Amino acid sequence: MTRPIHRLLAAAALLLLLGAICWMAWTPDRPLDELKARWAQAPSQFMDVNGLQVHLRDEGQRDDPSPIVLLHGTSASLHTWQGWVEALGTNRRVIRIDLPGFGLTGPSAANDYSAEAYVVFVRAAMDKLAVNRFVIGGNSLGGQVAWSVALAMPGRVDGLILVDASGFAPESFKAVQTTPLGFRLAATPVLRFVSQYTLPRAVVERSLKDVYGDPSRVTPALVDLYEAMALRAGNRQALVRRIEQGYTGDVARLKDIHVPTLILWGGKDRVVPPECAQRFARAIAGSQLVMFEELGHLPQEEDPVGTVGAVRRFLMPQPAQLAALRAQ
C-alpha cells in the first residue's frame, strides 16, 4: 500500500473519530432568553455599543465622580466580581461588563478579540454611559485590557487595578505554567473543531480547578455558571479566535503608566505565574503589589472577602486625593 493511501486512510479515520466524538458529546447552544432568565436578573441591563447588545451591571453610588470599571478574563463573565461589588458598592459606583465574545454579550461581528479591539470597545462603552473619568480593573485578559486602556486614555483613567493580568509573553515565563483544559482543547488544531460543538461538564469543572489555588472551592453552582456562559451562542467559536490572537501585549509601554496602580496576585497562579506580578511592579513606577499566597488565577472570585480589603485600602483616598496624586 502506498504512502499517500496510508495518509488518506489515516485522515479518514481521524475524521470518523472526530465525527463520533461530536455525535456522542454534542452540546447545543442555550437560547439567550433562557440564559437571561437565570443570569441576567436585576440589576443586569443590555446596552447597545457599536451595534452589539452588551450585558452589564451598573451599581452603587450614582454621584461617584470616578466609577470603578471591572473587566473579567477569558471565558469568565461579570459575575466573577460579585463579591467585590457587594463590598465596594456601598460607597462607590461599580460598573462591570461582559466583554465581547464572553458572558451574555456574545460574539462581535468583527470577530476581533484583541486587546486593541477591547480598548476601542471600553472607550465606546464609557462614552455611552457618559462616564468621563474612572478607575479600571481587570483580571487576566481583562487586566491586559485595563492596562492598555490606561495607556490609551491617560486623561480619563484615575487608577488601575491589575489582578493576575496577562500581557507578558507566555514563553518568557520561568515557572512551569498550566493551561486550563478547555483552553488546551480550543488551542489544539485537531481538537478545536470538536471544542466548538461539544462541552462535557467535566471539562468545565477541570478547567476551573486548574485555575483555583484550592480546587475544593469549585462548587457545582460555579460550574453551572461557567458552563452556561460558554454555551451562549457564538462564545465557543469566539474562544478559539481569542486564543489564536494570543496574550502578549506591548509591555515595553508599561513604564508610561503614571496613575496609582494596585497589583493583586494569587501565589498559586499556574496560568500567569507570580513572577509576572513582580514584572508589572517593576515596570509601573509607584505601584503597590499584594500577594495572596494560597489563591490561584482568579483571586477575586476564589476569595472575594480576603482580596477586596486591599482594594478598599487602595481606593480610600479617592477621588479627590487620587486626582492630586495623578497631578504629581
- Residue 6: the pLDDT is 46
The residues, any chain, with a CB within 8 Å of residue 203's CB and separated by 6 or more, are 181, 182, 185
pLDDT for res 195: 65
pLDDT of residue 316: 86
Q: Which domains does the chain have, with CATH numbers?
A: 32-327 (3.40.50.1820)
Q: How far apart are CA 140 and CA 247, in angstroms?
A: 9
DSSP per-residue string spanning 15-77: HHHHHHHHHHHB-PPBPHHHHHHHHS-TTEEEEEETTEEEEEEEEE-TT-SS-EEEE--TT--
Cα distances (Å, whole numbers) of residue 227 to 36, 282, 298, 310: 14, 37, 17, 30
**Residue 271: DSSP 8-state:** S
Please state, as a whole number, how many other Cβ atoms lie within 10 Å of the Cβ of residue 221.
7
Please, what is the Cα angle at 258 between 273 and 281, to 5 degrees?
25
| 3-class SS of residue 139 | strand
Q: Which H, E and C letters describe 94-120, residue by residue?
A: EEEECCCCCCCCCCCCCCCCCHHHHHH
Give the DSSP per-residue string, 234-248.
THHHHHHHHHHT-SB
For residue 1, what are the CA distances in angstroms to 6, 14, 15, 203?
7, 19, 21, 39
Residue 73 to residue 9: CA distance in whole angstroms: 41
The predicted pLDDT at position 174 comes to: 81
Residue among 291, 258, 282 at smallest CA distance from 163:
291
Query: Are 145 and 119 spatial neighbours (Cβ–Cβ below 8 Å)?
Result: yes
Q: Rounded to a whole number, what is the distance in angstroms from the first to the last CA of the chain?
A: 77
What DSSP element (H or E) covers 137? Answer: strand 134-139
Distance of CA 241 to the CA centre of its chain: 15
> What is the model's pLDDT at position 179?
74
**290 sits in which H/E element:** strand 288-292
Please name which of 48, 57, 23, 33 lies closest in space to residue 228, comparing C-alpha atoms.
33
| Three-state secondary structure of 253-269 | HHHHCCCCEEEEEECCC
Task: Give pLDDT, residue 178.
Answer: 75
Burial, 13: exposed, middle or buried (Cβ in 10 Å; 0-12, 13-18, 19+)? exposed
pLDDT-flagged residues of the chain (< 70): 1-26, 175-176, 181-195, 317-328
Report d(CA 105, CA 46) in Å as an integer: 8
